[in-house]
Structure 1
Amino acid sequence: MAGPPLSASATEGAARAEAVLGRLQLLVTRKLDGLLQGDYVGLLPGPGTEAGESREYRPGDDVRRMDWPVTARTTLPHVRQTVADRELETWLAIDLSASLDFGTARWLKRDLVIAAATAMAHLTVRGGNRIGAVVGTGSGVPPKSRKKTAGEPLTQPMVRMPARPGRKEAQGLLRAIARTQIRPGRTDLGALIDALNRPPRRRGVAVVISDFMAPVDDWARPLRKLGVRHDVLAVEVVDPRELELPDVGVIELADPETGILHEVQTADAKLRTRYAQAAAEQRGAIARALRAGGAAHLRLRTDTDWLLDVVRFVAAQRHARTRGTTR
């Protein structure tokens, strides 16, 4: 059954999303193909879940893989090696709340979200590996500065896209994400992350892509719960204006999630200093919460080469794995 016709703005947004996605896929293919070794390598390569042989414990090994029967027989600590699964399942939790529709440099934060999802799909979808997504699109409640018009529907706050194997299905998933319309209101990031915990799935890779601007207490516990069973990667999307203010005189700022307007005198050096300090504290709290949740942390900025950041991150993760360490 055909859906309702798209408005002019929605059609223009969909065309832009297709163009951005096409460019991103070309960039990712050229840059990341050289990092892939074998058909079953994911972004966070590591041991599988199938039991293998045992070996002596070495500093840096995961103590959860201790082989206690062998340790008791030999009186030396041993760990159980595992064989990588033949099929990897990756789930993306993608935050597309109103705060992501912002950018003052080379990219919008929304574009970086799509870029990160494209890179994750390219790195994980091989040899029957499956990838799915849960997308948060805001609460659907209009900002306080705009009243809801008659007949205007509330958006569905969360969209689940089932995990399917194959590159064609992955491309369709990315296209659906890119065409998702950002709605007013704030996504419940905690609920979005928790959606990856239900229903329970076998061990795999969980990728959370967001600016993590929601209060840390709202999402820290679901993230820790997610990390108990899955390898978790947190991709934090940041714009430089969220870290410091330029000296450009009086500017009017609007909260994209609430519509509240603020007039700011950026010529005030003390105000710029307080802003930078508060932003640093906020980002520090986010980093600590991600680390406490056991997540690998990748930060992408709208004013830097995000693809180079991804390449460096993947290389560092694999180097750490080969040295027998975790994160």
Structure 2
Amino acid sequence: MTSPARRPPDATPRDRTEAVLSRLHLLVTRKLDGLLQGDYVGLLPGPGSEAGDSREYRPGDDVRRMDWPVTARTTMPHVRRTVADRELETWLAVDLSASLDFGTGRWLKRDVVVAAAAALAHLTARGGNRVGAVIGTGSEPPGGGRRAPAGRGGGFTRLPARSGRREVQALVRAVAGTEIRPGRSDLGALVDLLNRPPRRRGVAVVVSDFLAPPAQWTRPLRKLRVRHDVLAIEVLDPRELELPDVGVLPVVDPETGELHEVRTGDPRLRHRYAEAAAAQRAEIAAALRAGGAAHLRLRTDRDWLLDMVRFVAAQRHARTRGTTR
């Protein structure tokens, strides 16, 4: 009696990646698409550029959409509605720096990043919409030299925007197959790649843990917001918010390789750590809000799919009521 055939050892990593992507594709198409029906409105629906009718101003509306002629005629403030473009271009800035290769929950942070990218690509790649991506790793050139500004190399990879299910699956496969390298990331340069060259108005999504100093990426994010709807997906792990009491804990910085021993048995140390982590996350949230980006937080110890569905539902509800951030 023969035993079941086993996969060759050299093919195991690739086969495992393909199996994970296949399950992820089914999860997204069945559950996410079943809960969020319809092409428009999407995850971050662009308001479009074609002028539509006007309605009375409501608190929270964007003052840049004020319809001044109608306001002058009616003596009541009105805002201009726009018709959504029938073709949408979405660009993903996917941060796969060394700090993403970590996780103590149900998944690694990297897994959540790939899952979020797959879900976003699926939600927007329909009806002729195009999806592209720029991927950044944690690699740094020797001697602290400057990175390559675009294309492949210098820690960055650009995938051109294309339409079609096969092209989107190839994009997700490229994201999942990107090798995480040691070194510090340059999130600001990654975001700035979405500004060059200038593109038609669309949706720009930045997926990262945003551990880089906000001063590094705030300005490129604000520049990106001028032309695009921006969504920032922050991926974090519960151990980044608080430390467990496990005695002496050896910790390795994935970006620098430095080893530290942390005495987690000290309650004052755990308290200071939690306070510093909360302040850091508050600073990140404030910087994203100041940059005009919608903010979605996904955790490795929670159901990322459910969190994404709730976020989309809240966005749709806000737009239906006519209120925007």
CA distance change for structure 1 residues 95 and 53 in 2, over 3 Å: closer, same or farther?
same
Q: How many residues align?
A: 311
**Contact in 2 for aligned 1:209/1:234 (Cα 8 Å):** yes
3-state secondary structure, aligned to 2:195: coil
Q: Which residue of 1 aligns with 2:174?
A: 176
Q: Deviations over 1:128-176 (max 9, x none)?
A: 011000000122458xxxxxxxxxxx96311000000111111110011
Alignment partners' CA distance in 1, 2:98 and 2:42:
30
3-state secondary structure, aligned to 1:180: coil
Q: Deviations over 1:13-63 (max 9, x none)?
A: 433332222222111112111244433432112521111223333333221
Q: Which amino acid aligns with 1:197?
A: N
3-state secondary structure, aligned to 2:43: coil
Q: Which residue of 2 aligns with 1:167?
A: 165
Instruction: Determine what percentage of the aligned residue pairs are the same residue.
Output: 77
Tell me the TM-score normalized by structure 2: 0.90
Alignment partners' CA distance in 2, 1:194 and 1:210:
14
Alignment partners' CA distance in 2, 1:290 and 1:11:
41
1:125 aligns with 2:125: yes
Alignment partners' CA distance in 2, 1:40 and 1:105:
34
* Matching residue within 281, 297, 300 for 1:299: 297
**Contact in 2 for aligned 1:108/1:302 (Cα 8 Å):** yes
**Contact in 1 for aligned 2:96/2:135 (Cα 8 Å):** yes
Q: Which residue of 2 aligns with 1:185?
A: 183
Q: Which amino acid aligns with 1:133?
A: A
**Contact in 2 for aligned 1:18/1:178 (Cα 8 Å):** no
Give the superposed CA RMSD.
2.2
Q: Which residue of 1 aligns with 2:278?
A: 280
Q: Deviations over 1:228-286 (max 9, x none)?
A: 22111110010111111111111211000000110111111111111111111111100
Unaligned runs of 5+ in 2: 1-7, 143-151
CA distance change for structure 1 residues 71 and 155 in 2, over 3 Å: closer, same or farther?
closer
Unaligned runs of 5+ in 1: 1-7, 143-153
* Matching residue within 221, 227, 230 for 2:228: 230
CA distance change for structure 1 residues 13 and 141 in 2, over 3 Å: closer, same or farther?
farther
Q: Which residue of 1 aligns with 2:67?
A: 67
Alignment partners' CA distance in 1, 2:243 and 2:100:
18
Give 1:10 shift: 8.9
Tell me the TM-score normalized by structure 1: 0.89
3-state secondary structure, aligned to 1:196: helix
CA distance change for structure 1 residues 300 and 9 in 2, over 3 Å: closer, same or farther?
farther
Q: Which residue of 2 aligns with 1:93?
A: 93
